């Protein structure tokens, strides 16, 4: 049985003297289709199967993965992982300790209505070509791009404390992008649709209509006016723009390894290290990380350390409450493990990662935010971030915006970015809507070697104050 392979790895490492060991046995099915301007740029199906084995000896980690799932291959992998841990133990400044957690024995799976493999690759390709074609709404669209990804993962987690967890997951998403041009002016508009589930997501949405709307949006931005720089402007941020904002200035700085400075060499630290319990924003500012939300890209019920997932309160009414933890960092902070550890595949050691990170709800309606704004801007859809190493200074561009005058949307704007500092913006938040949307972000990067993981981010519409960077 497959469980026997993972259990064999754990038992072997324990026999060889490991203080702790866990094994992740995984089957991966990946498919990728990329279509640009009516031509297939990439069509790939990939399958792989292997095991990642993590050992703890004398307070140091050793990790190694293998695709040789014979008992001989597993035993050799265990021996090397142990040697790595023993060698590292002579040089670790502080021995690793693991916060206690319950050992679960459970099996669960993502709800899937249409299995990815039940739709022929040829049929998918035809559909995606058709969707990409619909991006070309006029000659002003100079390039269309459709990128589809489907993933199936079967995972078994076993550790030396008695945990045995089986998880079958399916993830599906597509990014659609239209580039427009008129004279020297170029613009683009893009949208990603995705979920934790099967191919049925594309049956729920009229993908051809969505593609046409994206093309039309890209065209309309050519007629929009370039935004002008304005300090301390009132801004109403839509769910999609908020998705990237919360990702960059709440999610990443909440990862406990960054707080401890362990990511400093390649990813940075965080400005709010040591500030748990401090008031860092207004009473309208609340943020969570929650892997338990079905149908999101960040969905799971147990992390890659076997810890049961739960909603993590990161900020509550402006007060910094906690971080995303591994069992190791939880022990350092004297906190409860909260299921923050994930790896992209069995080949990689787990890292502290976001799942679904989002701003909490308020009691406003979107219409009320706009109607009660004398002068400001409705800022829509994320584009590109620029954040300093401490996640303190931030600049994030938007795909489009509308000027608000006396509670009404007026001038259509392009070429806009917002900038502020994290605490200044957090303290400026003065209104938040009830409705929350979580957007798929399939390429969150972290680690060395880099792991591009799939997460969800979002929240409600938020009103605050920031400086607009536009055309001077």
Q: Are strands 164-182 and 141-159 parallel, antiparallel or unpaired?
A: antiparallel
CA-based R_g, the chain, Å: 24
Count of CB atoms situated within 10 Å of the CB of 42: 11
CA-based max dimension of the chain: 74
Tell whether 230 is covered by a domain: yes
Final residue of a domain: which of 197, 223, 249? 223
Identify whether residues 35 and 170 lie together within a single domain. Answer: yes
Identify whether residues 257 and 295 lie together within a single domain. Answer: yes
CA dist 449 and 128 (Å) reads: 32
Average pLDDT over residues 445-461: 95
Domain carrying residue 235: 226-302+312-469
Identify whether residues 249 and 217 lie together within a single domain. Answer: no
Tell whether 307 is covered by a domain: no
Q: Which residues contact 116 (CB under 8 A, 6 or more apart)?
A: 29, 31, 150, 152, 170, 172, 198, 199
Predicted TM-score (pTM) of this structure: 0.96
CA dist 195 and 193 (Å) reads: 7
Final residue of a domain: which of 192, 223, 254? 223
Per-residue pLDDT, 267: 77
CA dist 242 and 286 (Å) reads: 13
Tell whether 217 is covered by a domain: yes
Structure tokens at 17: 């003297």
Site of tokens 């049925």:
200
Identify whether residues 117 and 247 lie together within a single domain. Answer: no
Identify whether residues 256 and 135 lie together within a single domain. Answer: no
| CB-count burial class (<10 Å; 0-12, 13-18, 19+) for 14 | middle
Identify whether residues 330 and 428 lie together within a single domain. Answer: yes
51-100 pLDDT per residue, tens = 999 999 999 999 999 999 999 999 999 999 999 999 999 999 899 999 99
Identify whether residues 232 and 346 lie together within a single domain. Answer: yes
**Domain total in the chain:** 2
Identify whether residues 139 and 245 lie together within a single domain. Answer: no
Per-residue pLDDT, 381: 94
208-221 pLDDT per residue, tens = 999 999 999 999 99
Per-residue pLDDT, 162: 98
Site of tokens 């502080």:
94
Identify whether residues 333 and 281 lie together within a single domain. Answer: yes
Q: Which DSSP string do the residues of 193-220 spell out, in sequence order? A: EEEES-TTHHHHS-HHHHHHHHHHHHHH
Tell whether 98 is covered by a domain: yes
Tell whether 342 is covered by a domain: yes
Count helices and strands in the chain by DSSP H and E runs: 10, 23
Q: Which DSSP string do the residues of 282-299 spell out, in sequence order? A: -TT--EEE-TT-TTSTT-
Q: How far is CA 211 from the centre of its chain?
A: 24
Tell whether 14 is covered by a domain: yes
| CB-count burial class (<10 Å; 0-12, 13-18, 19+) for 399 | buried
Q: What are the φ/ψ torsions at residue 47 (nearest 5 degrees)?
A: -125, 140
Per-residue pLDDT, 265: 73
Per-residue pLDDT, 448: 87
Identify whether residues 256 and 215 lie together within a single domain. Answer: no
Average pLDDT over residues 168-176: 98
Tell whether 109 is covered by a domain: yes
Q: Which DSSP string do the residues of 334-364 spell out, in sequence order? A: T----S-EE-SSTTS--EE--SEEEEPP-SB
CA dist 153 and 115 (Å) reads: 12
Final residue of a domain: which of 223, 238, 267? 223
Per-residue pLDDT, 2: 64
CA dist 92 and 301 (Å) reads: 32
Cis peptide before 456 (omega within 30 of 0): no
* Residue 264 in this model has a pLDDT that exceeds 80: no
Q: Which of 467, 120, 153 is nearest to 297 (CA)?
A: 153
Identify whether residues 183 and 285 lie together within a single domain. Answer: no
Site of tokens 């990161």:
314
278-337 pLDDT per residue, tens = 999 999 999 999 999 999 999 999 999 999 999 999 999 999 999 999 999 999 999 999
Identify whether residues 233 and 217 lie together within a single domain. Answer: no
Task: Give residue 3's pLDDT band: very low, low, confident or very high (50, 70, 90).
Answer: low
Tell whether 173 is covered by a domain: yes
Q: Which DSSP string do the residues of 41-106 spell out, in sequence order? A: EEEEEEEEEEEEEEEEETTEEEEEEES--SHHHHHHHHHHHHHHHHHHHTT-SS----------EE
CATH (domain of 159): 3.30.2290.10
């Amino acid at each position: 049985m497959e469980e026997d392979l993972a259990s064999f790895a754990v038992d072997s490492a324990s026999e060889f003297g490991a203080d702790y060991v866990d094994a992740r046995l995984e089957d991966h099915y990946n498919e990728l289709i990329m279509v640009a301007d009516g031509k297939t740029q990439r069509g790939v199906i990939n399958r792989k199967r292997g095991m990642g084995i993590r050992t703890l000896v004398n307070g140091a980690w050793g990790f190694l993965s293998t695709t040789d799932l014979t008992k001989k291959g597993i035993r050799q992998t265990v021996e090397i992982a142990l040697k790595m841990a023993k060698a590292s133990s002579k040089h670790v400044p502080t021995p690793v300790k693991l916060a206690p957690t319950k050992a679960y024995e459970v099996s669960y799976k993502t709800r899937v209505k249409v299995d990815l493999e039940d739709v022929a690759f040829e049929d998918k390709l035809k559909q995606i070509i058709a969707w990409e074609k619909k991006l070309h709404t006029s000659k002003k669209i100079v390039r269309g791009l459709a990128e589809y990804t489907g993933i199936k993962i079967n995972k078994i987690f076993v550790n030396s404390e008695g945990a045995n967890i089986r998880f079958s997951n399916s993830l599906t998403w597509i990014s659609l992008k239209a580039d427009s041009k008129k004279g020297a002016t170029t613009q683009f508009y893009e949208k990603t649709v995705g979920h934790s589930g099967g191919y049925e997501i594309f049956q729920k949405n009229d993908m051809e209509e969505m593609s046409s709307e994206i093309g039309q949006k890209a065209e309309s931005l050519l007629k929009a006016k370039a935004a002008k720089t304005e300090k301390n402007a009132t801004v109403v941020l839509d769910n999609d723009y908020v998705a990237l904002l919360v990702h960059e200035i709440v999610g990443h700085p909440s990862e406990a390894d960054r707080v401890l400075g362990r990511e400093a060499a390649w990813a940075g630290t965080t400005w709010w290290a040591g500030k748990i319990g401090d008031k860092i924003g207004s009473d309208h500012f609340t943020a969570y990380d929650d892997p338990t939300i079905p149908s999101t890209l960040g969905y799971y019920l147990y992390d890659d350390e076997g810890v049961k997932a739960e909603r993590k309160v990161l900020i509550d009414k402006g007060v910094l409450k906690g971080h995303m933890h591994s069992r190791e960092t939880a022990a350092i902070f004297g906190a409860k493990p909260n299921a923050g550890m994930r790896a992209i595949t069995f080949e990689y050691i787990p890292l502290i990662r976001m799942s679904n990170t989002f701003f909490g709800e308020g009691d406003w309606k979107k219409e009320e935010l706009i109607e009660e704004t004398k002068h400001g801007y409705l800022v829509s859809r994320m584009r590109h971030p620029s954040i300093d190493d401490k996640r303190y200074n931030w600049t994030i561009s938007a795909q489009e915006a509308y000027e608000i005058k006396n509670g009404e949307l007026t001038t259509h704007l392009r070429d806009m970015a917002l900038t502020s500092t994290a605490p200044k913006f957090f303290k400026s938040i003065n209104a938040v809507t009830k409705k929350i949307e979580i957007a798929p972000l399939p390429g969150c990067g972290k680690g060395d070697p880099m792991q591009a993981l799939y997460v969800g981010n979002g929240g409600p519409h938020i009103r605050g104050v920031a400086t607009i960077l536009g055309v001077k």
